[in-house]
Structure 1
């Protein structure tokens, strides 16, 4: 009679195939790394409290929320808020268009910027100069947009700003960068790159540190130039990291930079700068329409989730590792 397949889970060998069972092997790995999981516990608790706990409030998108009745006591209204948002709101299409345009400008111009900067810093041979360059490019990241917006407003002022003063010196007219809808989006993108490009190079510099020097030495012996080495060795080696960061960035495609825009825009630029997040801020916090803003947030999350799945699928189709 054939033995029944009943693998043991205490680390002994399975009587079915003479090999340790899958669950026993997994349990041994968990026991071996138990102290690492203990270090991971605070991170898991943070996500449980601040990321998954608030998902309880998603039901507000399908209710007519009343503060005195609370979440449970508020009546269900189904897809009423989504119907208003998609078919009746006079501002939604304009706001969605602004969000998509600004986000894709950030991706198109801002995503390659830290990769290019990391490649340039990696070519610096002087250790002292490299550290100084890294520190200077990291520095703006540690300032909030409240501080940086004040600096930008001063620098870009059409009457007393340094930038417009330099433009006038070369015979050009002053430009109202933060008040002219034709220049506001480009100002947003450039200032965002200035703030985050240095910080974004950290992960790429770490990936570049893992490139084996022997590969460059072999390329030099074959007569490859620095440009050819970059194209044939450096970029292919760090491509998995680039793909991973791109997938994560696509997941935030509807996050166009709330802090930055809130501190820099004005009624004169609402037509090109008003995005979903600023709409949520005005309608939700100032007009107390919490159900409507929850519907907007849920819409953003669903789109982001779908984009992550699609981008991950395309990455794997083209031979990259992807997220999962």
Structure 2
């Protein structure tokens, strides 16, 4: 009797499983064009992000260019010890953290402020012109940006330095002064990327229900009240999302910008992990140490993203997943 009951249960479960499979395939068939649209993006990440992760083996081997990854001898965590015991690593690690924290603290708030100002502009044509002017620098390369900065602040020949020398009798050496290097990085990054960052928050503001503003006006709320109680809570989830993503890249302090702006006199405050890895990996051909450093950065970023996501959910936020 018991065996008969089990047989009935097994056979009775089969139709349910087949129905669920059919429902899944029907759902896939209905959304097939969405999956087709996703396919290029998925292939991009598979080919350029996931398949190259096999190269992380280099971090655990004494990599020889002629032997290849598989035939190079295994050394375990020796390269990680080399990185952590290097006399340069504490300096570049500290510089990376400081520059990244500066970017997080001082770059995200201007994005929100600019988006709020754009949102308050009522003249459509004026809004489009100002938006174009502010997010246009985002599409300039850092080489061009440095050329502009050099034209203004070059020692003895820059527009600003020449003006200050002729007017006040002195000209600051902005490009080679260690105390001014990090503010220079931050200011140039603000000029280049703030306008583009504001677009993300503008898109979030566009999704806020306009009936909320109408109800607030009916209750006598002014512009600041609506900003505080409707606009800012409406973009909070986007702000938290971008904050979590930036925390994941906290050890990426902007290699391209720093490498172009860097010079020998500001190495003490401007040399970061990526520029150090560039010199060790490409200039000195020490690929294993460079790979170990990259793996170390990835682990730290992963831990920060997971931790920030869990903290966001505990505090009542949405998080990434």
TM-score by length of 2: 0.93
C-alpha separation between the residues in 2 aligned to 1:24 and 1:314? Answer: 39
Question: Which residue among 185, 189, 200 is the counterpart of 1:188?
Answer: 185
Alignment of 1:61-72 (within 5 A): 61-72=59-70
Q: 1: CA distance between counterparts of 2:182 and 2:82? A: 28
- Structure 1 residue 242: Cα displacement: 1.1
> What is the aligned partner in structure 2 of residue 163 from structure 1?
160
- The 1:7–1:114 alpha-carbon spacing in structure 2 relative to 1, beyond 3 Å, is farther
SS in 2 for 1:178: helix
Structure 2 residue 287 is the aligned partner of structure 1 residue 290: yes
Structure 2 residue 5 is matched with structure 1 residue 3: no
How far off is 1:7 after superposition? 4.7
Offset at 1:301? 0.3
Q: Distance in 1 between matches of 2:14 and 2:166?
A: 82
TM-score, with length taken from structure 1: 0.92
| Structure 2 residue 276 is the aligned partner of structure 1 residue 279 | yes
SS at match of 1:223: coil
Q: How does 1:249-268 map onto structure 2 within 5 Å?
A: 249-268=246-265
Structure 2 regions of 5+ residues with no counterpart?
A: none
The residue number in structure 2 matching 1:17 is none
Q: Which has the higher contact order (CA 8 A, sep 6+)?
A: 2
Once the two structures are TM-superposed, the CA of residue 288 in structure 1 deviates from its matched residue by 0.2
In structure 2, the CA distance between the partners of 1:64 and 1:140, relative to structure 1 (3 Å rule), is same
Cα 1:208–1:253 shift into 2, 3 Å? same
Any gaps of 5 or more consecutive residues in structure 1? 13-20
SS class of match (2:66): coil
Cα shift at 1:137? 0.8
Conserved? CA contact 1:8–1:24, under 8 Å: no
1:199 and 2:196 matched: yes
Q: From the two aligned structures, give the one with the greater helix fraction.
A: 2
Distance 1:219 1:204, change over 3 A: same
Residue pair 1:247, 1:312 contacting (<8 A) in 2 also: yes
Residues 71-113 of structure 1, C-alpha deviations (whole Å, 9 max, x = no match): 11100011111111112x1100000000000000000001222
Q: CA RMSD in A?
A: 1.7
Which residue does 1:228 correspond to in 2?
225
Partner of 1:30: 28
Q: Distance in 1 between matches of 2:77 and 2:41?
A: 35
Query: 2:210 — aligned with what?
Result: 213
Matches of 1:224 and 1:171, distance apart in 2: 50
CA distance in 1 between partners of 2:224 and 2:146 (Å): 38
Match of 2:317 among 313, 320, 323: 320
- Give how far 1:312 is off: 0.2
Distance 2:17 2:80 in 1: 52
Q: Map of 1:84-95 to 2, 5 A cutoff?
A: 84-87=82-85, 89-95=86-92
How many residue pairs get aligned? The number is: 314
